[in-house]
Amino acid sequence: MTELRVEQAHGDAQLRDWQYVHNVIIPTDVLSLDEIRERSERYHLEVAYLGDTLVGCSTVRPPTSDAPVTTVIARVLADHRRQGFGGELYARGLARARELGADGIETVVLESNPDGLRFALKHGFVEVERYLLPGDSVPWITLSLA
């Protein structure tokens, strides 16, 4: 069996893969390649492959003076869910957050992604807030690691 290969997203090809996963799972917040390039300078972005097949992506947002928690987000394409890949991405993101000295860990899930919400709750997160971004019709859910 082919093992999951996870790499930090470098270069346009991997950033496009990260973009694809993000835009499929978060259709209410479609990002351009330029926006992702900018994010890759602030956040730790990774892409996951099974062989040559794109499986998912992750984001670790480091703490800031405005937000002292680290945000860890793992996204897996629907065809590859429930195979442990989300757990691997999450574990890597959590380890990265700990390296950054995170006092607290949060994640965000779009309400229309019940698989993502179940995953977060199963991994010890609790809901702390639901909110709509300007122009959105689907709420975001912020969850904190208990």
Residue 18: per-residue pLDDT: 97
Q: Which two tokens stand for residue 49?
A: 């492959």
Segments in the chain below pLDDT 70: 1-2
Residue 2: per-residue pLDDT: 66
CA dihedral 105, 26, 134, 136 (to 10 degrees): -130
Q: Which two tokens stand for residue 133?
A: 């971004």
Residue 66: per-residue pLDDT: 80
Residue 64: per-residue pLDDT: 84
Residue 69: per-residue pLDDT: 92
Continuous H helices in 46-138? 85-99, 114-122
